[in-house]
Structure 1
Amino acid sequence: MLSERWAVVPLRIFLAVLFGVLVLLQVMSLPGQFAHMAQESPDMAHLRWPLTAITVFWVVCAQVVVVCTWKLLTLVNRDRIFTQSSLKWVDAIVWAIAAAWAVLLGVFLAVGFNADDPGLPLLMFLVLTSVTVLGLLMVVMRALLRQATTLRTDMEAVI
């Protein structure tokens, strides 16, 4: 259990930094970036608010994953990770990834059907594939956590 304790503190520090950067991105950078885009390319100005909304939504999904990971780390510290309460946090991570994936799929299809150059659709396909792998990995990890929780509950009942 000592090795987990050494990993939990730095992970929490990096999660806090990541959350702070995500808030800055959400509040300052993304709206400013798309406002600048609208000024520089008036023909693309109609995309300012949809792109702002979509990217802020993705940041919110990432923030949900960060908060849920923090809560799971709390359960690890309390040696309560193999309980039913941990499953709700993993479920929230899976749903956040699924929501981000669904919006990403829509953006990928919109960009793919309107692209002149294959570069952006290929990059978006790479990101879509990566998010798909991450989501499916979380589904598998959730199943493993559920099995471990059941085994631990059974073992505690025997002892």
Structure 2
Amino acid sequence: MLSTHRALGPLRILLVLLFAGLVVAQVAILPGTLAHLADEEPDFAYLRWPALAFSIVELLCVQVVIVCTWKLLGMVKADRIFSEAAFVWVDAIVWTMATAWVLLFGAFIFVSVLQPGPGLPVLLFGVVLTGGVLVLLMIVMRALLRQATNLRADMDAVI
């Protein structure tokens, strides 16, 4: 358990840096980049605002997962991870990831219809598959947490 506690500090630092980077991307980088692309490619300028909204929502989903992970790390540190309270945060992660995946799948369909070449649709298809794997993996991890929580409750009842 000692090595777990040693990893919590650096993990929290990285989560803060990732969260801050996502905020910078949402506020400063994406709007300017999409404005520049709209100027460079006037045929696709109508996609500027939908692409910006999509990107901001997707990054917001990642931020929600970061906050939930932060809360779960606090529960690990306090040795309360195997409790019913953890499921609120795990469920939030699962639903947020599922929402992000549905939006990404919609973007994949939209781009596949719009884009004549195979490059971007194939790349997006790989991202959609990866996202689906991550969502299903989180569902399995939630089930494992449920089993461990039940076992811990049974052990506490015996002791």
Relative to the length of structure 2, the TM-score reads 0.98
Secondary structure (helix, strand or coil) at the match of 2:74 reads: helix
In 1, the alpha carbon distance for the partners of 2:137 and 2:10 equals 23
- Give 1:58 shift: 0.4
Q: Encode CA deviations 1:68-113: one digit per residue, 9 max, x unaligned.
A: 1100000000000000011111111111110110011111011112
Match of 2:128 in 1: 128
Q: Which residue of 2 aligns with 1:54?
A: 54
Alignment of 1:4-19 (within 5 A): 4-19=4-19
Q: Partner residue of 1:45?
A: 45
Q: Cα offset for 1:114? A: 2.2
For residue 108 of structure 1, what is the amino acid of its counterpart?
F
Shift of 1:158: 1.2
Task: For 2:101, give the aligned amino acid.
Answer: W
CA distance in 2, matches of 1:30, 1:84: 38
User: 1:35 corresponds to which letter in structure 2?
Assistant: A
Aligned ranges 1:18-29 → 2 under 5 Å:
18-29=18-29
Structure 1 stretches (4+) deviating beyond 3 angstroms? none
TM-superposed deviation, 1:138:
0.2
Paired AA for residue 61 in structure 1 = C
Distance 2:116 2:151 in 1: 54
For the aligned residue pairs, the C-alpha RMSD in angstroms reads: 0.7
Distance in 2, Cα, partners of 1:142 & 1:40? 45
How far the C-alpha of 1:124 sits from its partner, in A, is 0.3
- Output the CA distance in 2 between the equivalents of 1:114 and 1:38: 16
1:64 and 2:64 aligned: yes
Distance 1:30 1:80 in 2: 39
Q: Percent identity at matched positions?
A: 56
Partner of 1:115: 115
Deviation sequence 1:20-57 (CA, Å, 0-9, x none): 00000011111111111112222211111000000000
Q: Which residue of 2 aligns with 1:153?
A: 153
Name structure 1 gaps, 5 residues minimum.
none
- Residue 88 (structure 2) pairs with residue 88 (structure 1): yes
